[in-house]
Amino acid sequence: MEQILNILIADDNPSDRILLKAILSQFGHNVISAVDGQEAVEKFNPNTIQLVCLDVKMPRKDGWEAALEIQQTAGDLFVPIIFLSGVADPIALSNCLRIGGTDFISKPYSPALITAKLNAIVRLLVMQKTLEEQRDAMSLYNEQLVHDQNVAKVVYENITHSNCLKDPALSTVHYGTHTFNGDVILAAYKPNGGMHLLLGDFTGHGLSAAIGALPLADIFFDWTKKGFLMRQIIPEINARLKSILPANMFCSAAFVDIKVNNKSIEIWNGGLPDLLFFSQQSKAPARFESKNLPLGILPPDVFECQIDPVTFVPGDRLVVFSDGVYEAQDKSGAMFCHSVLNPLYEGEIADDQALDWMVEQLTKEGVLENPHDDISCLSVRLDTNIGIESPDRGVPTSHHEAPADFSFEYVLNADSLRNTDPLPYVLQIITTVPGLSSFSSQIFMILSELYSNALEHGVLGLSSYKKSSSDGFSQYYDEREQRLAALTEGYVKISVKVTSSGNERVLALYVEDSGDGFDYQNISFDMSNSELLYNRGLALLDQLCHKLEFSKGGRGVTAYYHWQVGQES
């Protein structure tokens, strides 16, 4: 560990000064001399001097004062100071060492002792330099990391937050343990009104947990916008996560589909604590337990969707939270689910206060100061206007609109009826018509009402009177599934025709089924009786369309939709 040092020495005794300089020079070091403390301070330059030797007793400025000033000049740079002293002044020496002197050399000088001490100092300097370099490298690395994380965070938030979480029906609480976290809350309006919601919790915390949220959010938003159903989106997300995540990573999640047309929600719970449904009719909330494996575990061929349907009346509320809440520990060490949350489960907390109350409990029990897990809660006030009158639905843009004139027919026979949902594809073709894309939500709603009527009442022969009670409502959907699975005969034909005349555009949607038809003469389009769980579909259609026309004894329905171009819509 050979190193040439620039050494500043200060001693008012000329013979001692010259002797020390001679000894140090002999080892090859460069020596700068000063006759007292004042001169030493003036000659000290922290960038060139690596070691300072100060006599304790000097005129003008003694070693103690000079050392203080030199340390101040040196700032963050480490410059060791060695005091030179005779045996006569032990107290002065101890004072000097106390303020940060590295060592001392006693007079008269012994070349052997000085060599040993210099070697020790050189080692110290080398170590110090290595440490400084490592520290600088670390802080540079950390800066880089923070920068990268911030950039990634912007991208991450753009993808996971391009949603409608600001909708007045929703309130959310979110506490992450890191810059990134493994919890996501996603919400998106469906093209035919209503909303899809997803609260997800990926294994682990931090960046590695957050990364899976990107494909999840991507599929969620994209497929919802295109009009796919919850039971189509969930398997897609599962398959994608299964193919990209390592075996030990998965996403516990709850998916909620709010259907405003028939005042119902559908709940899929895979690995999250029970969802709580607060109905105004009963005190304690209904609990919807996890009936599915989390997303990203099962391969697509064995994945299944266990979904719970529920009907709601405006004002009912759904509360969802991640296991960060459920498994949080109170001050006595008990898990929240067995202690703190009991009043919530028993219905003693007003449902619209549930979130605030939970945050209060988490704060009180000290969980938020030191969270072990990411914490997310979501509360939805259910209503029939969700996703219909929302302000940020996306403003339609007016642009030059070319005339359109086309038609197509799409016939689905039994096999296809079982296995496909034609609506997103049909919608996609229709919305290629210039100007029509701004009405896509209404078109989709008309199309999906017509199609589900044709399929459920026509082809499958289900009676909508079944839906008149809440129990019957879920029976109805069970039966729909059974009959559809067993379907061997039947068809639904969808015909689309778009015509233009001047500024007027007309879309004619014709849907025909293989069923028995129905008595359309006596149908009531009265929406005032909105408590009815059935028949609301046709009344709704009547309002949305310009004209509704039945044919073939009720087996065929044509909906006419008119719009104008060349004006602000």
Partner 1 sequence: MVESSFDDKTECLTILVDGRFDYSCHKLFKEAFVSAKKAASVYEIDLSRVTYLDSSALGMLLLLRDHAGGEKADVRLKKPNGAVLDILKIANFHRLFDIEE
Q: Does 335 bind partner 1 (CB under 8 A)?
A: yes
Q: Pick the stretch among 38-46, 96-104, 249-257, 408-416 that binds partner 1 (CB under 8 A).
A: 249-257
Q: What is the CA radius of gyration of the chain?
A: 39
Write down the least CB distance from residue 115 to partner 1, Å.
Answer: 49
Q: Where are the alpha helices (DSSP H) in 270-313?
A: none
Question: Which residues in 463-502 contact partner 1 (CB under 8 A)?
Answer: none
Choose which of 173, 305, 337, 404 interacts with partner 1 (CB under 8 A). Answer: 337
Q: Does 247 bind partner 1 (CB under 8 A)?
A: yes
Residue 85 or 322 having the CB closest to partner 1: 322
Write down the least CB distance from residue 366 to partner 1, Å.
Answer: 17
Write down the least CB distance from residue 373 to partner 1, Å.
Answer: 7
Measured on CA atoms in the order 15, 19, 25, 31, is the torsion positive or negative?
negative
Residue 63 or 271 having the CB closest to partner 1: 271
* 3-class SS string, 460-496: CCCCHHHHHCHHHHHHHHHHHHHHHHCCCCCEEEEEE
CA separation for the pair 434, 362 (Å, rounded): 52
Residue 200 or 490 having the CB closest to partner 1: 200
Query: Mask 91-130, x = binds partner 1 (CB under 8 A)?
Result: ----------------------------------------
Choose which of 38, 85, 177, 292 interacts with partner 1 (CB under 8 A). Answer: 292
Residue 50: alpha-carbon gap to chain centroid: 52
Q: SS3 for 114?
A: helix
* Angular region, 315: left φ>0, alpha ψ -120 to 50, beta rest: left
* DSSP string computed for 172-212: EEEE-SSSS-SEEEEEEE-TTSSEEEEEEEESSSHHHHHTT
Query: Mask 43-82, x = binds partner 1 (CB under 8 A)?
Result: ----------------------------------------
* DSSP string computed for 78-110: ---EEEEE-TT-HHHHHHHHHTT--EEEESSP-
Q: Pick the stretch among 97-105, 331-339, 519-527, 540-548 that binds partner 1 (CB under 8 A).
A: 331-339
Q: Pick the stretch among 173-181, 293-301, 391-399, 427-435 that binds partner 1 (CB under 8 A).
A: 293-301
Q: SS3 for 266?
A: strand
DSSP at 308: E
Q: Does 323 bind partner 1 (CB under 8 A)?
A: yes
Residue 307 or 511 having the CB closest to partner 1: 307
Residue 71 or 292 having the CB closest to partner 1: 292
Write down the least CB distance from residue 247 to partner 1, Å.
Answer: 4
Q: Does 291 bind partner 1 (CB under 8 A)?
A: yes
Q: Does 248 bind partner 1 (CB under 8 A)?
A: yes
Residue pair 157/181 in contact (Cβ under 8 Å)? The answer is no
Rounded to the nearest 5 percent, the helix, strand and coil shares of the chain are: 40, 25, 35
Q: Does 338 bind partner 1 (CB under 8 A)?
A: yes
Q: Does 376 bind partner 1 (CB under 8 A)?
A: no
Residue pair 246/370 in contact (Cβ under 8 Å)? The answer is no
Residue 291 or 480 having the CB closest to partner 1: 291
Q: Does 287 bind partner 1 (CB under 8 A)?
A: no
Residue pair 19/109 in contact (Cβ under 8 Å)? The answer is yes
Choose which of 201, 266, 351, 456 interacts with partner 1 (CB under 8 A). Answer: 201
Residue pair 471/378 in contact (Cβ under 8 Å)? The answer is no
Q: Does 252 bind partner 1 (CB under 8 A)?
A: yes
Q: Pick the stretch among 67-75, 117-125, 245-253, 519-527 that binds partner 1 (CB under 8 A).
A: 245-253
Q: Does 327 bind partner 1 (CB under 8 A)?
A: yes
Tokens read off for 35: 């006759």
DSSP at 217: H
Q: Does 207 bind partner 1 (CB under 8 A)?
A: no
Q: SS3 for 119?
A: helix
Choose which of 133, 289, 481, 504 interacts with partner 1 (CB under 8 A). Answer: 289
- Would you tell me how many other CB atoms lie within 10 Å of the CB of residue 379? 23
Q: Does 181 bind partner 1 (CB under 8 A)?
A: no
Question: Which residues are at the interface with partner 1 (CB under 8 A)?
Answer: 201, 203-204, 247-250, 252, 270-273, 289-294, 297, 323, 327, 335, 337-338, 372-373
